[in-house]
Amino acid sequence: MTDSLARALARIHVLPATQAQEFLHQWQRWEVSRDQLILREHQVADYFWYLERGAVRIFYRKHHREVTEWLALDDQFFLSITSFFERMPSRLLIHTLEPSVIRGIHYNVFMQMADRYHEVEKLLRKMVTSSLILSQQRMESIQFETAQQRYQRILAQSPNIIHRVPGLYIASFLGITKETLSRIRGMQ
């Protein structure tokens, strides 16, 4: 039942067998239909999530516009990092783009296990480090790459994203307009 989650965690850090079993047991599982909010604006993010299957969008509202901050597809971890760790209301919203199977571990449980087991603490540190690296790579991409290069990067990382995520959200994630995305696609 937790095979994909176990593999995803092991790619980050291998836990001793007994700790891994206890840790995996703490993750809850939800089957969520398309277009459901799993984190609302001004809500504290209580869960560190793993997307077993499906697609989710993390976004915020700015000047009556929705800005896509992150897109997650099958077999990815995701969260509102500031809200989760600072225990403050989130500016971000997270919603499903298609029917999804999501697993989550509650903040209190994760922190208790990290306090109890050094290896879980190492896993947490590596997960946070990975998230920070992805965030910096995204910022560098927006600062230093052309729109065409950003589009090529997202296709290389997730080739089927264009079939699963609406173009408006992809354009927003890339920091470009729908029209620019259409032009880039037209040049392919």
CATH architecture for residues 3-144 = Sandwich (2.60)
Q: CB-based burial of residue 120 (10 Å sphere; 0-12 exposed, 13-18 middle, 19+ buried)?
A: buried
- Sites in the chain below the pLDDT cut of 50: 1
pLDDT score recorded for residue 1 = 45
Instruction: Give CA–CA dist 43/140, Å, rounded.
Output: 29
Structure tokens at 153: 């990067």
Rounded to whole angstroms, the Cα distance separating 94 from 171 reads: 17
pLDDT score, position 2 = 59
Task: Please write the tens of the pLDDT for every residue from 38-54.
Answer: 999 999 999 999 999 99
Give the per-residue SS3 of 102-129.
EEEEEHHHHHHHHHHCHHHHHHHHHHHH
Query: In whole angstroms, what is the distance from residue 92 CA to residue 170 CA?
Result: 17
Please write the tens of the pLDDT for every residue from 60-96.
999 999 999 999 999 999 999 999 999 999 999 999 9
Q: In the prediction, which pLDDT does 150 show? A: 94
